[in-house]
Chains A and B, each alone.
Chain A
Amino acid sequence: RKEVEQDPGPFNVPEGATVAFNCTYSNSASQSFFWYRQDCRKEPKLLMSVYSSGNEDGRFTAQLNRASQYISLLIRDSKLSDSATYLCVVNRGTGGFKTIFGAGTRLFVKA
């Protein structure tokens, strides 16, 4: 079993749709959590950090449930430019962290 698992995708949605991505992690010692976006043949770019209290940035909302070891990302009013691969990322460790990437979920937003 992978340490970070995501919905396999791809998700094909029309513009304006709301789409939700799920992610689970297996190591309870994980300490910090992120969603990254990766465009084809590009490096990952930080989308947002994820907190237990939930956080929102415009059309994007991220949520963390530590008890269930579950992370989510909600995208409202999808735009064509949201088409990308979304990576669930978990950091664990102290005095030297280790980053574990999920395999990513591909999103296609169509006109």
Chain B
Amino acid sequence: GAVVSQHPSWVICKSGTSVKIECRSLDFQATTMFWYRQFPKQSLMLMATSNEGSKATYEQGVEKDKFLINHASLTLSTLTVTSAHPEDSSFYICSAARDSNTDTQYFGPGTRLTVL
């Protein structure tokens, strides 16, 4: 159990376009989902925390108008990178937790975004 999927697994897009990444918990309900970004040879950096039915909480330095997060159901959160630029190219990983008090999180397989 506790499987998290992400779609797409990779995407290549032109600069200026928007890209939506989906994160789904397949066999459990996830009250809380997290979005991370990982640049080459660096660690995962938390971008934002989203709770179902409420606005996401963004980490310092992450533009909420650029990285739109929607957590409309207990099994789905989406991250939309708006007007993507080459510097947004990265590995985006989501994780899901059953609730905000349970500190076990399950990671999705990640989405590799390349912006040309």
Q: A95-B101, A96-B100 are in contact. Are A43 and B112 (CB under 8 A)?
A: no
A91 touches B108 (CB 8 A): no
Which A residues are in CB contact (< 8 Å) with B45? Answer: 101
What's the tally of chain A residues with a CB closer than 8 Å to chain B? 20
Task: Specify which of B44, B100, B101, B110 is in contact with A42 (CB 8 Å cutoff).
Answer: B110
B105 touches A99 (CB 8 A): yes
Whether A47 sits at the interface, judged by CB under 8 Å, is no
Residue-wise interface mask of B (22-36) relative to A, using a CB-CB cutoff of 8 A (1 in contact, 0 not): 000000000010101
Whether B87 sits at the interface, judged by CB under 8 Å, is no
B42 touches A99 (CB 8 A): no
Within 8 A of A (CB), among B81-112: 91, 93, 100-101, 103, 105, 107-110, 112
In the complex formed, the residue of A with least CB distance to B109 is A43
Taking A43-B108, A87-B43, A99-B105 as known contacts, 8 extra A-B pairs with beta carbons closer than 8 A to each other, sorted by chain A number, are: A42-B109, A96-B32, A96-B100, A98-B46, A99-B34, A99-B103, A101-B45, A103-B43
